[in-house]
Structure 1
């Protein structure tokens, strides 16, 4: 296999180190890419700079596939901004909030609300949290529990949906590696096939109803629940609740209709599947370009409908609504920059033979069935340290797919391992943006949220690790069932031990 030896490891290692130091994905990806180009340019900085701009960044922007992905992301950004500001989520919650007469129903309602807001992982905490904050207080459920629920329905849900920003971003990374390896399968098919192997996100989402229905709580969360039930205190004495009153007031006071969230999503799905079904979906392979055109059209039509509804219901004036739409589009520029740099880094690593060098080292030394587990743990460590699952995906995917391809490991399991590891580490990290927003949305102390969520995340991470070991051996989707069984059994055992310990203390 062609490579330049250990020097080929410099770009990904530098990108990881830079991410740990700067906590900035764009800077780390830029430094990793530039270091690789510098090596290819023989150590000449000016030549490397010109080559990086002309032969990497510009090339990525002018590629038709890449351009389609970037345009799609812009339309998604505009639609998400409209949904967040429409007040439809709050109005929808008001419709169902009167039926929440038990603790289980209250928790399940917040969980369901988080799943409904699947289109925005960062919007979920700030939309669902303020809506259910007072309801949880009235039901004597801790703010920490609310933060955990909305954190478990943000990125773990978003990473499973192929037609939102997360899915488009991930498919862009997958397709770039497929092109390099001459794999003819579409990025859509690969993403869909990998969903059953996204063990951690699936477990994180499923654990919420498990805990809500069975009251099987443990660790710091059990102590927080006991505090609220016995003393009525919302916070620990030294807690420093995180709040963003301006956003919360805006969301709670907006005069809106539940239809403002339901109708646009209906239009989006009908348009999407209405354009794909005549092409043979889901029984025939759909060209990637046709899929992106259908998805872009769907988001455009849904946005037009939502703009008209917001103006008709006098939620905001047309000028304000259009400004929101444009601001949402502008907000995706950061995502676009990350994606272009990620593509560039992947191309640099391919030219250096980074994956070939890693494969050569691992071939014969590490059994192929261990590769998914290694990718999961490695991705989790990187995501925990950086607080960024997106940055983890960008650096790990160009390594994972070639490793799976050349070492005869399951491609879909390896993709699922990278995605699961990124979300797992992000869920545990105190510097994760979604964790911080979950604390903010629930109005609780951030460190208290991290402490109460960590035992649940570690349990799910352990179950996912065992499942990846099984999946590495079998490549079977039945490994997901094994992960769920392990999670349920562990929760029951831990909870029983904790109850017995409490009885012994009494």
Structure 2
């Protein structure tokens, strides 16, 4: 089904572009040397270069960056160049650039844009350029006294095509349930657009360019190394029986389904400093405990996925703060009359980040009420039934030890968890007779938590010192490399685990390495998906899907509606790209200065920033291609399609509440942000109570449907004519006069 859709799409696109010349690649830089055959005082663009997008979108403005040389070459005597290409009787001198230089950009003899370039910004000056039509063409750059003629070859496509790579990926993933294949299809489709509709070139560059570059990126390589180190550590901890031992300790707190979920929520609040660390640490520490309590993998994945990105984005001391401050700073400097510090501005936007704040409360509300709805309810019922069947024998044979069956379901003993937890079975099953000591799991994971946070501070301190920043905790955390700190902590924890295992004679060194390698192998498929997701993210950036979405903002919108539109656009863009940082960096320079020009209200300016910061998190908690989504499926562990099937209804419910009761009502000054947050929480509580059900009470009808059936029976449904009795139709001894009012009402 999915492959058929992709083939049909390619046939249609190929037929519409038959007139387009298909070439293998675009020229990023085309620099003409000084080979003029006529007398001139300016060499032909020596040292001038232009940064162009890989593809232009028809009718969408994109930035083009012009780089100028430090000096310009001039001939002193106007001599001509001979036939052999050598200049005769000429002297070349290097002259400094003028203070300002007039420039023009032409296409097919038509002037597209002109203006003035400044010498002070010769390292790169951005010029907004819009091309109409589609196909390949040439741009001619003229810069007075610097460049007589600089030619760049460009290619443009219809703007609406840019959304197809992420859109096709999502559709194929839903229908085919093959995430890796769907990601590769999306990458191929993007390459098909980028490389001038050439399917062979697109196929080759899908693998030798985009997938390779996804691995070669230093930040991505750090994540891969950190993930593999943590995966090996998890394998060792599981094989040693430490996870079972830790489960026995946490079981004292996680005695029921509700308390187990609250333990998970509480631990997510503790690991607040980074979203990756939150998902990986909490997920790998508590997944055995969740299984022992009858909590499904879907529910546990929903908890850590719903809390990891939001809390890291909100807390001022986290790995996100540096990006947020930098994004805000770049936008605020373009607003006249605003002297607010970027850090203060970021803090002021927190009350307006309705989606991440309410998303944090949702797992807590669901855990306290104990009800679910939609696909999650079905999965939780199946997990609860399976949990009861596993414990029924133990409870029936050990009444003296266990007592009567608790209404909220007791936890399984750790020895029974392997019957449910797939990842514990097979090669990672603890050896028989191995003591299940809690500290063999707690000590390594505690080292990961503590060393990661301390490493972030030390790394950020060094960066702040090199950049001359203030020595504050906010600057340390905001400028640190959180993934590098995770690598350090995982490596240190692995060595500590080795020492612990050898001292207790749980493993020999070869057995330790075998368990470590098995743990790494368990992550192979999720890592391949993660690499493909990175490659697709690069494709989405290169085809400029975000620019097309952002350009759809109408200029006639009321200023009060701009934050609402910004929130919706941020949700759409983050879902399509899977990148919160990318969404912030695209929308902030567009939305915040626009609001600043239309109003002097700081509250509205703060809400516009909060809407972007908040909406950008949407993709991180539900987008199939988001890093946090992939890491959640790795940490829980759970299939990506299964996780999204149960997670999506919850996330879409929250975003609908926050947009309507938060963004819209606060933007139009119906009430302040704090009242909006309170109403959003109350709305979620009411929704869960109305449509939710307990997984342990399958026969209960939701309150909403009870109320609906009541109204239908009492108000909307009229009794049939043959059932409407009158006194004349009643027997003589049962006339209406002989009955009481209550009896009459029951009869009629």
TM class, shorter-chain normalised? Answer: 0.5 to 0.7
Which of 118, 121, 131 is the equivalent residue of 2:289?
131
Q: Is 1:158 aligned with 2:308?
A: yes
Query: How does 1:31-430 map onto structure 2 within 5 Å?
Result: 31-45=185-199, 66-83=217-234, 85-87=236-238, 88-99=242-253, 104-112=258-266, 119=277, 121=279, 128-134=286-292, 136=293, 143=294, 149-160=299-310, 199-200=354-355, 202-213=357-368, 215=369, 217=371, 246-248=422-424, 255-256=436-437, 257=439, 258-277=442-461, 279=464, 280-284=471-475, 293-316=484-507, 317-324=511-518, 326-327=520-521, 333-334=527-528, 337-338=531-532, 340-350=534-544, 354-364=545-555, 367-375=561-569, 378=572, 392-394=577-579, 398=582, 401-408=585-592, 410=608, 413-424=611-622
**Shift of residue 148, structure 1, vs aligned partner:** 6.3
For the Cα contact (< 8 Å) 1:218–1:494, is it kept in 2? yes
Query: How does 1:473-488 map onto structure 2 within 5 Å?
Result: 473=667, 479=673, 482-488=676-682
Instruction: Indicate the structure (1 or 2) with the bigger Cα radius of gyration.
Output: 2
Separation in structure 2 between the aligned mates of residue 229 and residue 45 of structure 1, nearest angstrom? 50
Q: Secondary structure at the match of 2:252?
A: helix
CA separation of 1:35/1:20 partners in 2, compared to 1, >3 Å: closer, same or farther?
Answer: closer
CA separation of 1:283/1:415 partners in 2, compared to 1, >3 Å: closer, same or farther?
Answer: closer
Q: Is 1:491 aligned with 2:685?
A: yes
Separation in structure 2 between the aligned mates of residue 148 and residue 414 of structure 1, nearest angstrom? 29
For the Cα contact (< 8 Å) 1:90–1:252, is it kept in 2? no
Q: How much is the aligned-residue C-alpha RMSD, in angstroms?
A: 5.6
CA separation of 1:154/1:93 partners in 2, compared to 1, >3 Å: closer, same or farther?
Answer: same
More helix by share: 1
Separation in structure 2 between the aligned mates of residue 399 and residue 224 of structure 1, nearest angstrom? 33
Relative to the length of structure 2, the TM-score reads 0.47
Which residue matches 1:139? none
Paired residues in the alignment total: 451
CA separation of 1:212/1:348 partners in 2, compared to 1, >3 Å: closer, same or farther?
Answer: closer
Which residue matches 1:140? none
Structure 2 gaps, min length 5: 1-60, 62-128, 133-156, 334-342, 391-417, 465-470, 596-607, 692-701, 711-748
**Shift of residue 325, structure 1, vs aligned partner:** 6.2
**Shift of residue 436, structure 1, vs aligned partner:** 11
Q: Is 1:462 aligned with 2:620?
A: no
More strand by share: 2
CA separation of 1:27/1:362 partners in 2, compared to 1, >3 Å: closer, same or farther?
Answer: farther
Separation in structure 1 between the aligned mates of residue 617 and residue 537 of structure 2, nearest angstrom? 17
Relative to the length of structure 1, the TM-score reads 0.65
For the Cα contact (< 8 Å) 1:393–1:422, is it kept in 2? yes
**Shift of residue 42, structure 1, vs aligned partner:** 3.6
**Shift of residue 393, structure 1, vs aligned partner:** 0.4
Query: What's the CA shift string for 1:257-303, capped at 9, x where partnerless?
Result: 23232233223323332343454353437796866655543443343
Separation in structure 2 between the aligned mates of residue 495 and residue 246 of structure 1, nearest angstrom? 33
For the Cα contact (< 8 Å) 1:199–1:420, is it kept in 2? no
Query: What's the CA shift string for 1:164-223, capped at 9, x where partnerless?
Result: xxxx99999x89x97xx9999xxxx99x9798776555534433433444x474757899
Separation in structure 1 between the aligned mates of residue 556 and residue 169 of structure 2, nearest angstrom? 29
Q: Secondary structure at the match of 2:227?
A: helix
**Shift of residue 86, structure 1, vs aligned partner:** 0.9
